[in-house]
Amino acid sequence: MKKITIYEVAKESGVSLATVSRVINGSSVVKEKTRLKVEEVIAKLGYKPNAMAQGLALQKTTTVALIVSDNSVYNNAQVLKGLTDVAKIYKYNISLYTISDGFNSANEIVDAVIKSRADGAIVFDDKFTQEHISMLEEYDVAVVFMGVNKFKGEKLGSVFINFEEMAYQLAKKYITQGKKNIALVEDRKNKFVMTKMIDGISKAFNEHQLSFDGYVAIPENHRSSYNHLIEYFKHNSHELVITYRDSQAIATLNALTELNKLSSTEIVCALDSKYNAMVRPQISGFKIPYYDLGAVAMRILTKLLAKKDPEEQDQGHFEKEIELGYLFTKRGTTKE
């Protein structure tokens, strides 16, 4: 005969593990209606409390699954700092799951998170699909997304950077100045962001009755962007080259320097980093508030988790989709 767990009692009752534990321990803080409902479910399922269930009322533990892509390794340290600083305030435990092409698929990670019985999840991977979201929702896991995607749902939250608007405003500025020969270097590891940036640049071109055709694709047989870019820039010139990551910005800088074309070309990197300030000339870019990305995501998750629990609900409305700003840092690769 299958042993009934506190998790099944909580799910059937529609309350948190801590609330079930409080009922078991006879806590007076539980509302009468909630207590009767939980006791009814306990009787119905034939649940027998164990030491863990009784201890939950004395020391509530909440586990949050952090799901990240291996493509976002550089940013993880800053995001983690923001997440953990807020998690410490609420005494949350964080479990890290990494999605890696060829090793851990998104489906495998979602399955592992569900089996771990995590209370909530924070996702830092733009490859997550609606199917993965639905799987987590089915098991009543509250989810907050960080990055580019903006999702809406009762148990969903989003903290995002609008790269489409970033690319649009940047391209619009240069087109207004009469600089229409703009290129965007492909980032094969971040195709979703590329789509957003292409849409933004295309919008700026369309507003001036122009078409954007400056997308620089990196062939699959090139492991390094530099090897392709050095050949590309031998035969092509641009007034502005936009890249997503610092490595591509530096590859562009090196290629143009070697070809003596840097003086006629400006470079802007969407994801600014310390490495952009180490090269000469220093590369202009957009500062992304990664610490805030993590801190705000965790704060939204705390509110979503509280909303699930009738004993701890926030009565007021709270914003579940938050767009964070960014700051352009002008350096030596831009003129204005």
Same fold, 62-161+291-326 and 163-287: yes
What is the C-alpha to C-alpha distance for residues 183 and 169, in angstroms, rounded to an integer?
15
The model's pLDDT over 38-54, given as tens digits with 9 standing for 90+, comes to 889 888 888 876 544 55
Q: Among the listed ranges 137-141, 212-216, 231-235, which one has the minimum average pLDDT value?
A: 137-141
Boundaries of every domain in the chain: 6-56, 62-161+291-326, 163-287
Q: Does domain 6-56 have CATH number 3.40.309.10?
A: no
Q: Where are the beta strands (DSSP E) in 193-248?
A: 215-216, 240-243
Which pLDDT belongs to residue 102?
60
Q: Which residue has the higher pLDDT, 51 or 217?
A: 217
Cα distances (angstroms) measured from residue 336 to each of 33, 54, 245 = 65, 64, 21
Write down the CATH number for the domain with range 62-161+291-326. Answer: 3.40.50.2300
Q: Indicate whether 25 pLDDT > 90.
A: no
Mean of pLDDT values over 219-226: 87
How far from chain centre, in Å, is Cα 29? 36
What is the C-alpha to C-alpha distance for residues 285 and 288, in angstroms, rounded to an integer?
9
98: tokens are 């990494």
Amino acid identity, residue 155?
K
The model's pLDDT over 101-153, given as tens digits with 9 standing for 90+, comes to 666 678 888 888 877 878 899 998 877 777 888 878 777 788 999 988 777 77
Q: Where are the beta strands (DSSP E) in the chain?
A: 62-69, 92-99, 120-124, 142-147, 156-161, 182-185, 215-216, 240-243, 266-269, 284-287, 321-324, 327-329
Q: Does domain 163-287 have CATH number 3.40.50.2300?
A: yes
Q: Indicate whether 159 pLDDT > 50.
A: yes
Q: Indicate whether 93 pLDDT > 50.
A: yes
Please list the residues that pair with 144 across neighbouring strands. 122, 157
